[in-house]
Amino acid sequence: MDKRILLSHGAGGQLTRQLVDDIFVKYFNNEALKPLSDAAVIELPGSRLAFTTDSFVVRPLFFPGGDIGKLAVCGTVNDLAVSGARPLFLTASFIIEEGLSLSVLDKVARSLGETCRTAGVRVVAGDTKVVEKGHGDLIFINTAGIGVIPEGLDLGQHSIAPGDVVIVNGPMGNHGLAVLLERGNLGLDSGVISDCAPLNGLIEQILGKAPGVKMMRDLTRGGLATAVKEIALGAGVDIWLEEPSIPVDDQVRGALEILGLDPLYMANEGKFVIFAAPEDAPEVMRILASDPLGEKAAIIGQVAPGKGSVLLKTMLGGTKILDLLAGDPLPRIC
């Protein structure tokens, strides 16, 4: 039977991983691509660069706390930042549907430009394509980004060791829920705002002062659980998470419970996980607490010897095994 693409192939969970492994890696594989991390690390004479790309198809285009233009900068800047790079230059490609109002395009582009200024990056190349009405959905944006990795910095799952501490910079699930509720067909209004934000300033501060940071990853599609599971598998360790320590805003928890969604699998756009040596954790927490983007940070778990399991000590005192996201609860969230 000829298998076909499902929405879940784009959810950043099990099926996305299968698609990447079975088709893309099969034909593209090389040393820089192989780690399948947030950004590729490229060695050039005299410098090490991080290079990444991301496409944005969020629906609706505007939501509380952000829009597709802001998202297109944050997603790419954050992938570079968690790779340890200082983001510098972006490209921006627009695929626009015939009939889109120019004022909508202007608003999206203005937001994209403002977010670039906040993040300290510049759009240095771009592309515009228009497709016939009905053959796209208003606007899709692709951004690619490049940044420089400071000399001597070596982040990655190879550095993670038992005893390392797991930290997140704030509450889970706000972005996914904010976009979902903005679609307006659920009859729920929680007042939740997307956490969409460029994290490079905060991350640069942390890397400057905490040499014991081993690895970071932004917690977008698939959420915290999927990211941590991928890291556990890649590093060949077990990771224990403490559910009561994982920050989730009350109104987010309440709304997700009604919808039957798990905050640990929800997309964020301004959240990242840090793996740090235990002796550096207090310094990382101090820096996070002093920044609005990290003021609700928490230590949520620890690395243990093992073979790639993620174990959640639940609120009720039980233990639950966390796997990669299965299915796609929320298509087109970013």
Binding footprint of Mg ion on the chain (CB under 5 A): 38, 79, 218
CB nearer to Mg ion: pick between 218 and 262: 218
Distance (Å, rounded) from C-alpha 279 to C-alpha 100? 54
- Distance in Å, CB of 108 to Mg ion, minimum: 22
Q: Which residues contact 111 (CB under 8 A, 6 or more apart)?
A: 66, 67, 69, 70
Cα-atom radius of gyration of the chain, to the nearest Å?
19
Name the β-bridge partners of 225: none
Nearer to Mg ion, 218 or 230 (CB): 218
CB of residue 163 to Mg ion, shortest distance in Å = 25
Min separation Cβ 135 and Mg ion, Å: 29
3-state secondary structure of 305: strand
Closest contact distance (angstroms) between CB of 303 and Mg ion is 20
CB of 37 to Mg ion, least distance (A): 8
Please, what is the angle between helix 68-82 and helix 200-209, to 10°? 20
Q: Which stretch of DSSP H or E encloses residue 282? A: helix 281-289
Give 74: exposed, middle or buried? Use CB within 10 Å, 0-12, 13-18, 19+: buried
Which of 231/261 has CB closer to Mg ion? 231
76 vs 190 by CB, closer to Mg ion: 76
Name which of 17 and 100 has its Cβ closer to Mg ion. 17
* Residue 136 tokens, joined: 């796209």
233: CB partners within 8 A, 6+ apart:
308
Residue nearest to Mg ion (CB): 38
